Amino acid sequence: MKLSIAIVLAACSPSPPAAGPACPAPPSTSPGTRPAAIGETFELASKILGEKRVINVYLPPDYAKGGAFPVLYMPDGGLAEDFPHVAGVVDVSIRNEVIRPMIVVGIENTERRRDLTGPTDVPDEIKAAPHAGGNDRFRAFLKDELMPQIRARYHTRAETALIGESLAGLFVVDTLLSAPDMFDTFIAIDPSVWWSHQVVAKTLAERLASWSQPAKRVYITTSDLDEMQRGVKIIMDAYDRHHPAGLTISYDPLPAEHHNTIYPVAEVHALRLLFAR
């Protein structure tokens, strides 16, 4: 099995055993104490996905004072996944006046290998992710069900962003390719663009020759894994050749980081670059 597959699919999941190893339960509250809140949570019954999804939302410190805010959407957004550290970095960066205030919306996984990938005919990938290929349906859930809910519930601006690492990073790149109108900003951290013979990277590289979209900003970074670097190089070589009008891709390689350490480092770089005050 590929090294990258082994690392990516080792991620815990709050779903049943078939969807991945279980995440550890949060610590219980001792008498005389109360939980430390990092945001709020609601459930959304999805007709598109045929299941309920848990949505975690971080609101900026001065949210109650009024105004409207950009929204950063994130797969892998459960409380036992990446939501706490992303929301924490956003919060401290806002309080220190490093970045603009924003709302963070985390989507907790049920079966991430299904939702974040396109189809594949690679035997090892099929074995590791037998339900792969649901990314279009998950994207429709975001566009047609979740995003309208967020606009209805919270004070939002039209400005939106998408952040993800590993398979979620693959989903970010695929969304830039397949539905670039959905977001203004795309943050792909160590994206698994090796998936399915690098089809997303290769197709995006071809598309850059005739790119015609409103202004988009993209941040991509890679760790020390060669397979991630090779796929991103395909994209960046095409970007350097064509320099599509309105598309800004910032590549920030972090070879000192490993796949399991890069997210907390890269999110600081990306947020400071793309949402500076």
| Cα distance between residue 266 and residue 168, in whole Å | 14
Position 35 confidence tier, pLDDT thresholds 50, 70, 90: confident
Q: In whole angstroms, how far apart are CA 147 and each of 68, 111, 268?
A: 15, 20, 25
Convert the pLDDT of each residue in 233-274 to its tens digit: 999 999 999 999 999 999 999 999 999 999 999 999 999 999
Domain 56-107+149-274 has CATH 3.30.365.10: no
Position 130 confidence tier, pLDDT thresholds 50, 70, 90: very high
The pTM for the full model equals 0.89
Confidence at residue 22, expressed as pLDDT on a 0 to 100 scale = 45
Convert the pLDDT of each residue in 175-234 to its tens digit: 999 999 999 999 999 999 999 999 999 999 999 999 998 899 999 999 999 999 999 999
CB 211 within 8 A of CB 247: yes
**CA 116 to centroid of chain Cα atoms:** 9
Confidence at residue 26, expressed as pLDDT on a 0 to 100 scale = 54
Strand order in the sheet with 51-58: 40-46, 51-58, 103-107, 69-74, 156-165, 185-189, 216-221, 247-251
Check whether 17 has a pLDDT greater than 70: no
Give the containing element (helix H, strand E) for 268: helix 262-274
Q: What is the mean pLDDT of residues 19-29?
A: 49
Give the least confident one: 17-21, 109-113, 124-128, 150-154: 17-21
Position 38 confidence tier, pLDDT thresholds 50, 70, 90: confident
Position 125 confidence tier, pLDDT thresholds 50, 70, 90: very high
Residue 232, judged by CB atoms within 10 A of its CB (0-12, 13-18, 19+), counts as: buried
Check whether 19 has a pLDDT greater than 80: no
Check whether 55 has a pLDDT greater than 60: yes
Position 61 confidence tier, pLDDT thresholds 50, 70, 90: very high
